[in-house]
Amino acid sequence: MIVVKGGVTMAKGFLASGLEAGIKKSGKKDLALLYSEVPAVAAGAFTTNRFQASPVKISKLHIKNKTHQAVIVNSGNANCANGKTGDRSAWEMACYAATKLGLSEREMLVASTGIIGVPLPLNRIKARIGDLVEGLSGKGGENFAESILTTDTVKKDFAVKIKIGSSIVSIGGACKGAGMIHPNMKTEGHHATMLSFITTDAAISKKMLEASLDEAIKYSFNMVSVDGDMSTNDSCFILANGLAGNIKIEKKNGEYKKFTEGLKFLTGRLAKMLVRDGEGATKFVEIDVVGAKTKEDACAVARKISTSNLLKCAIFGEDPNWGRICAAAGASGVEFDPDKVDIYLGGIKSLSNGAIAKNYDKEKAREFFKTKDVAIRVDLNDGKASAKAWTCDFSKEYVAINSEYST
């Protein structure tokens, strides 16, 4: 696997664009388009929040189509809680873009991010779609990545190349998210906001693409949390157009495994980018839970610790209060013996067999908490399974951002 510079236009045959449509008061880019020059298969994963935004509803219908060729996305407006009018606007947004591209409406996917409960300015969007189509370019990935941002401070894109058979396959992606980040997405193939768009020139069946995406997001996007709030708009799309020329992946063989490992690596890197750019974040936190009976148990404990507001505040204040880690782990619903648990803050053992470690040095732990990257390891000593989750601290700036978001 080779890491390369690029994003959604790294894979062969993908073009993108992004521009200002007047949705954001700031005048920054807020409308983006991603397009495959040939029909592609697609898979999508969406929020499990019961209160789903209109673009999520439309894309969940459209993703069932056999082929797809484009995704249109706006930032600055979530188009959520707008009733049937919002549903109609999301559908018209997709249809209008499809018409300009000469596609069927079912070949177009749609996504939105921004404030909830404000009508989508559809006329402004329609007025710029022609320019959006005209601006499609193999170099448009950066504009695309910028146009999908809301409270993000930096664009987030990444790409890799992997060898499948005798062919070189590219996988590239871009995502956005800084607040309202606690995804729990599921692919339709199996049943502040995080949006992710992934492209690949791999030849792969729709069924295998759905399976691969499901595997990838389970231990990447679904293991991050900025604030514990699940968005109404979370969506992850992947399009595969087959232009790499590899033998088509149609079953879970060695080639499927190679592709999925590449996709997992990509989504893992993008997921960490989300956390590092969390609203007001000053520290990146990795929680490594080991020694669990099952992978599901390890995930549940790691996920629960990552959402502890008390721990996140302690990390911001550089207070090594490991008792909050114990409390969160115990509240995870996972059965384990507390008297067997060890906790490490970096290389410093703070808890040993359920009690404070004999040589625990609080001042050394405090110095460790002053670093930008905080690593916490919890050993349940109850099995061989492990899992990682990622979060950030809660700062005063986070409160400031979210106390005036709608003004």
CB count in 10 Å sphere of residue 22 = 15
List residues bridging with 19 in a β-sheet. Answer: 31
Token code pair at residue 326 = 């114990």
Is 294 among the catalytic positions?
Answer: no
Q: Cα 149 to the chain's mean position, in Å?
A: 13
Q: Could you please report the per-residue DSSP string of 257-322?
A: HHHHHHHHHHHHHHHHHHHHT-TT---EEEEEEEEESSHHHHHHHHHHHHT-HHHHHHHHTT---T
How many residues appear in the chain?
Answer: 407
Q: How far apart are CA 175 and CA 185, in angstroms?
A: 15
In this structure, the dihedral spanned by the alpha carbons of residues 265, 266, 270 and 273, taken in order and rounded to 10 degrees, is 60
Listed in sequence order, the residues at least 6 apart from 104 whose beta carbon sits closer than 8 Å to its beta carbon are 65, 98
Q: How far apart are CA 379 and CA 127, in angstroms?
A: 56
CB count in 10 Å sphere of residue 396 = 10
CB contact at 8 A, 230 and 49? yes
How many Cα atoms sit within 13 Å of 10 on the Cβ side? 27
Token code pair at residue 304 = 């629960």
Per annotation, catalytic residue among 9, 47, 151, 193: 193
CB contact at 8 A, 225 and 182? yes
Q: Could you please report the per-residue DSSP string of 40-53?
A: EEEEEEEE--SS--
Q: How far apart are CA 217 and CA 344, in angstroms?
A: 27
* 3-class state of residue 360 by DSSP: coil
User: Please, what sign has the CA dihedral across residues 346, 347, 352, 357?
Assistant: negative
Q: How far apart are CA 2 and CA 5, in angstroms?
A: 10
Catalytic residues: 193
